[in-house]
Amino acid sequence: MKNDNYHHGNLREALIDIALDILEEEGSAGIKMRAVGKRAGVSASAAYRHFSDKSALLAAVAKRGFDDLTIALNQVRTKTHLSVDEQLQEMGVIYVVFAVEHASQYRLMYGSEAIRTEDYPDLAASAHNMSREYALLVKQCQASGVMKGETTTEILHVMWACTHGAAMLVIDGFISPPDIYQYARNIVNYVDAGIREDD
């Protein structure tokens, strides 16, 4: 594991880290192959030994975002002192907060036309794993009788759409809430009221 001179050791991961750093500092426009290479102490074209494309590098960054988000959502499901319904609300809040706190990366994960998700099966799989966290919890809510039980997919779509939209509107500057937690809690609360079983 030399880190000097010629061979780098683990350039692939280093490049992803660097791209993430730049993303937070300058936004996605700052990610240039030359800049990433230079920061890694490597030439511009070195990255092409590990990524076929700039898109491939971005896809790797996006994948990491989905994986991190999956972990964050999964942790909510370990909070057994909350009811499953409360867990679902908490998950929605965590989702929105994660997105806003990693705004540029989140935009890369979703809105980026530069990444054709279907070209990166790993990325698609990570995205799917993420939404599965929502789905599993919705299923539990339905099983416990607190939630309308028609189809899990429908309820999942409602939660996902609302939290995704809430995050995106903030990220893109259309809504500027003073307190992101309260903003998220409020929206999730209304949505929850709509999908809960009438009692």
Pair 149, 106: CB distance under 8 Å: no
Contacted by 107, from DNA, a copy of itself, none: CB < 5 to 8 Å by type: a copy of itself
Q: Which of 107, 133, 138, 146 is in the footprint of a copy of itself by CB under 8 A? A: 107
> Binders of DNA among 106-125, rule CB under 7 A?
none
* By the rule CB under 8 A, 74 interacts with a copy of itself: no
Q: Which does 173 bind (CB under 5 to 8 A by kind): a copy of itself, DNA, none?
A: a copy of itself
The interface with a copy of itself within residues 123-142 (CB under 8 A) comprises 127, 131
Closest by CA to 145, choosing from 190, 196, 191, 91, is 196
Q: Are 138 and 147 in contact (CB under 8 A)?
A: yes
Nearer to DNA, 32 or 77 (CB): 32
- Helix (H) or strand (E) segment spanning residue 175: none
Is residue 6 involved in binding DNA (CB under 7 A)?
yes
Among 173, 90, 71, smallest CA distance to 130 is for 71
- Of 24-83, binders to DNA (CB under 7 A) are 31-35, 37, 41-46, 48-50, 52-55
Q: Which residues contact 196 (CB under 8 A, 6 or more apart)?
A: 85, 146, 147, 148
Residue 152 partner contact from a copy of itself, DNA, none using kind-dependent CB cut-offs of 5 to 8 Å: none
Site for a copy of itself in 25-64 (CB under 8 A): 27-29
For a copy of itself, which is the closer residue by CB, 13 or 24? Answer: 24
On whether the CB atoms of residues 62 and 115 are closer than 8 A, the answer is yes
Between residues 15 and 162, which has the closer beta carbon with respect to DNA? 15
DSSP letters, 118-170, are GG-HHHHHHHHHHHHHHHHHHHHHHHTTSB--S-HHHHHHHHHHHHHHHHHHH
166 is an interface residue for a copy of itself by CB under 8 A: yes
